[in-house]
Amino acid sequence: MNHVLRECIGKIVVVYFDDILIYSRSQDDHIGHLREVLMLLRQNHLFANVEKCTFCVDHVVFLGFIVSKEKVRVDPEKIKVIQEWPKPKNVSEVRSFHGLASFYRRFVPNFSSIASPLNELVKKDVSFEWTSKHDHAFQLLKEQLTNAPILALPNFEKTFELECDASRVGIGAVLLQGGHPIAYFSEKLKGATLNYPTYDKELYALVRALQTWEHYLVSKEFVIHNDHESLKYLRGQGKLNKTHAKWLEFLEQFPYIIKFKKGKSNVVADALSRRHALLMSLGTQILGFDNIRELYEKYLEFGVNYQKCQQKAFEGFYMAEGYLYKEGRLCIPQGSIRKLLIKESHEGGLMGHFGVDKTLSLLKEKFYWPHMRKDVQKHCFRCLACLQAKSKVMPHGTYTPLPVASSPWVDISMDFVLGLPRTQRGMDSIFVVVDRFSKMAHFIPCYKVDDARNIAKLFFRDVVKLHGLPKSIVLDRDTKFLSHFWRILWSRLGTKLLFSTTCHPQTDGQTEVVNRSLSTMLRVVLKANHKSWDEYFPHIEFAYNRVVHKTTNISPFEAVYGFNPLTPLDLIPLPNVEHFIHKEGASRAKFVKKIHERIKTHIQLQNEKYAK
């Protein structure tokens, strides 16, 4: 079911085995979403049982919960069973009651601590003896579930708040927004955790809460309210034992602020008063990099090098304006800023959800920290847009390497991508032009019915005006390219046309690979906007030509022009460092020639490797 509805999951549909929940903002939208899901089921020969379906309602019972527009609450039918549950008479009955009650533990604050006496009864080699403390826990759980609070649904536009606490036998936490609980978490302490000092228990409660709600909290700054004041100085500890170091390494993935809360202080008003400060702090982290100078000494991965570089450069590390650099790249300490930089390099305004290698190459141009590849892999493998849009099916057969070109835009290849949804301007195809040397590509929206004359106009308008005329063009046997007009035009201009074999696209393998990459980028960037794909082409073309190409080992932009254009990462006000290594005049010409020689070598090596 997940495979059949993969295009809708996370947008309009939630699937659990064979249960399908469709949600919408309005009734008109809901009718359209319902039709879309039913059509997908029909196409895959799946059927829905009408007797078990409900349509166009403002609340629904789903997996034992009643879900409405803004809230989630327990199903009264299930609570009725718990209310009428008789007093357990053996271990098996205790286990059954505890299992049913645990299903709704997210609605009960400190569930584990309350249920602790019942847990003792189900342990191995413990004789069953029902006492007053067990009866008290049993009745209290029934009462708590009977009066279970209504939980709010998360709003990712608002700031999350997290409250944690620890007791002698258990830990608990609540996730809130605007004072309304989103979910409760609790856990009974056992083994070594029972012997933790108070500080360690409070810190452990915070770590477990963040592990539970990581998907809510990792992407946006939030407030942690805690009644253990020493946790306020968590980031400033000088010496750490092994356990604390492990926990702090995990905590630094999150953009959080810890706030001490006395007793039952007003969490809502306090969080609202801090919201502007939170956003300003986040803006400083992204744009100013002012805070990272203070963090170098605090983290083991840079602390030693930072101290040594105070005197002189050390193993590629050096200091400039208070910042630590490694071979010209700014060192980034552990913290949320790393995730923000990875996210910008992978899916930012002018990026294209590229894979690990290309995302990593963009980051490595300006930044450095240990284990960068591991962090980038973690982000890319969890990117929902990539998981939904990218195919793992490899092309059939191998592509034929063509002779290595001598310079940019002298030898090119052309192809068409057909069968796309018609846009508002009537476009339904893409004219793809690829330079065989630099691997630079131009994606030109067109009409399927365009003849050779119109295609020639597009080529002169978008390619010739920028790069001049090519010496040779590799094309397939499309009727547009076989026309008398097309042949006469290029013979008069002195350009040689090289046609691929009929029904053998592997001959023009380079363009086929570009077409596949283009299709993937369209799926990732467009998402549901199928009628406006032609408006995204400046973005897609820039992203494709800006990243490092595997064959040439540099970006198509740099191969043609000798330098890379600016991206949003280049606009960050970094400390003054020379990023462009080319010079004007004669030295720039030599620089570009060296690049071209290097590219030819890389292409030849890749062709030889591919041939093997």
HEC-encoded secondary structure of 41-108: HHHCCCCCCHHHCCCCCCEEEECCEEEECCEEEECHHHHHHHHCCCCCCCHHHHHHHHHHHHCCHHHC
Q: pLDDT tier at 373 (50, 70, 90 boundaries)?
A: very high
CATH code assigned to 154-260: 3.30.420.10
Rounded mean pLDDT of 33-43?
88
Give the residue with greater pLDDT, 333 vs 485: 333
Instruction: Report the C-alpha gap between 260 and 277 in whole angstroms.
Output: 16
Instruction: Report the C-alpha gap between 344 and 72 in whole angstroms.
Output: 34
* DSSP-derived 3-state class of residue 581: coil
Q: What is the pLDDT of residue 442?
A: 92
Phi-psi region at 263: left, alpha or beta (left = phi > 0; alpha = psi -120 to 50): left
**Residues paired with 258 in a beta bridge:** 224
Dihedral of the alpha carbons of 253, 256, 257, 262, in degrees to the nearest 10? -110
For the domain made up of 411-570, give the CATH fold: Nucleotidyltransferase; domain 5 (3.30.420)
Average pLDDT value for the chain: 76
Rounded mean pLDDT of 59-68?
72
Instruction: Report the C-alpha gap between 173 and 165 in whole angstroms.
Output: 6
**Residues paired with 295 in a beta bridge:** none
pLDDT in tens, 75-94: 666 666 666 778 888 888 88
Q: pLDDT tier at 578 (50, 70, 90 boundaries)?
A: very low
Rounded mean pLDDT of 536-544?
87
Q: What is the pLDDT of residue 265?
A: 41
Instruction: Report the C-alpha gap between 82 and 147 in whole angstroms.
Output: 12
Instruction: Report the C-alpha gap between 450 and 486 in whole angstroms.
Output: 13
Give the residue with greater pLDDT, 332 vs 394: 332
Give the residue with greater pLDDT, 317 vs 497: 317
Q: What is the pLDDT of residue 561?
A: 85
pLDDT beyond 80 at 560: yes
Q: What is the pLDDT of residue 277?
A: 31
Q: Which of 43-47, 149-153, 245-249 has the highest mean pLDDT?
A: 43-47
Range in 56-70, 203-217, 378-392 with the lowest mean pLDDT: 56-70
* pLDDT > 70: percent of the chain: 77
CA angle (85 as vertex; 149, 118 as ends), nearest 5? 80
Q: pLDDT tier at 281 (50, 70, 90 boundaries)?
A: very low
Check: CB of residue 362 under 8 Å from CB of residue 567. yes
Nearest Cα to 281, choosing from 170, 159, 177? 159
* DSSP-derived 3-state class of residue 327: coil
CA 361, chain centre distance (Å): 17
pLDDT beyond 50 at 205: yes
Instruction: Report the C-alpha gap between 346 and 363 in whole angstroms.
Output: 9
Phi, psi angle pair for 59, to nearest 5°: -150, 155
Nearest Cα to 108, choosing from 160, 206, 205, 174? 174
Q: What is the pLDDT of residue 264?
A: 41
Rounded mean pLDDT of 566-582?
58
* DSSP-derived 3-state class of residue 164: strand
CATH code assigned to 76-151: 3.30.70.270
**Residues paired with 174 in a beta bridge:** 163, 184
pLDDT beyond 50 at 581: no
Q: pLDDT tier at 611 (50, 70, 90 boundaries)?
A: low
* DSSP-derived 3-state class of residue 134: helix
CATH code assigned to 267-389: 1.10.340.70
Q: What is the pLDDT of residue 490?
A: 79
pLDDT beyond 70 at 612: no
Q: pLDDT tier at 271 (50, 70, 90 boundaries)?
A: very low
Instruction: Report the C-alpha gap between 432 and 455 in whole angstroms.
Output: 11
Segment holding 441, helix H or strand E? strand 441-446
Q: Which residue has the tokens 């390099």?
A: 345
Instruction: Report the C-alpha gap between 259 and 232 in whole angstroms.
Output: 7
* pLDDT > 90: percent of the chain: 2
Q: pLDDT tier at 287 (50, 70, 90 boundaries)?
A: very low
Residue 409's contacts (CB-CB under 8 Å, 6 or more residues apart) are 435, 437, 438, 440, 463, 467, 468, 470, 560
Rounded mean pLDDT of 226-235?
61
